[in-house]
Amino acid sequence: GGQNLLISFEDILSKLSLDEIKLLKETKVKIKVPEEFRKSKLNSSFIESSLFSSNTNPNLVRYRHDIIQQRENLNKNYLKALEKFEDLINLEKSCLIKYFNMRDDQILLVDNSRWLHGRTKILDLNRHFVRVRFNDNDDLINRNW
């Protein structure tokens, strides 16, 4: 149920100025870690991080509208850059979004660091949705199986 939505992070970056990208890479914000992503109950419910990775290539993104805390404490230039970013991914405004439907026998794998993704409202109460996280830990990748 629902239409799937994908937006390439590289497409988003092409629409932002270098100054906006720099702000979104370098400014640390308070981010709420959703409960479903905490590895244990002992993990902190908040982290301080930038939305865009500043030390990786290719560029990576960490974003969900509901996780950014204390927006009122962010500076005006950062908020403008964040607003432009959010406009680029807004369902009603964005020309960057790729919409598609899936058949019952299909699976979708998404690199969350390079693609923003979502779905329109799901009307099918019998849908089957499984979330699986892959860990790119070097110890696991380099292990001889």
Which residues have a Cβ under 8 Å from the Cβ of 63 and sit 6 or more positions away?
51, 85, 89, 116
Count how many domains the chain has: 1
In a domain, 102, yes or no: no
In a domain, 87, yes or no: yes
- Structural domain including 60 reads 8-97
In a domain, 125, yes or no: no
Token reading at 119:
């779905």
Task: Please list the pLDDT of the chain residue by residue as tens digits (145 residues).
Answer: 578 889 998 899 999 999 999 999 999 998 887 776 667 666 678 888 888 886 665 667 878 788 888 888 899 999 999 999 999 988 778 889 898 888 878 888 888 778 888 888 777 777 776 767 666 655 444 443 3
Distance in angstroms (rounded) separating the CA atoms of residues 114 and 8: 6
In a domain, 37, yes or no: yes
In a domain, 42, yes or no: yes
In a domain, 145, yes or no: no
In a domain, 71, yes or no: yes
Strand order across the 29-32 sheet: 46-49, 29-32, 68-69
In a domain, 17, yes or no: yes
- Cβ-contact 10, 123 below 8 angstroms: no
Q: What is this structure's pTM?
A: 0.75
Distance in angstroms (rounded) separating the CA atoms of residues 61 and 142: 25
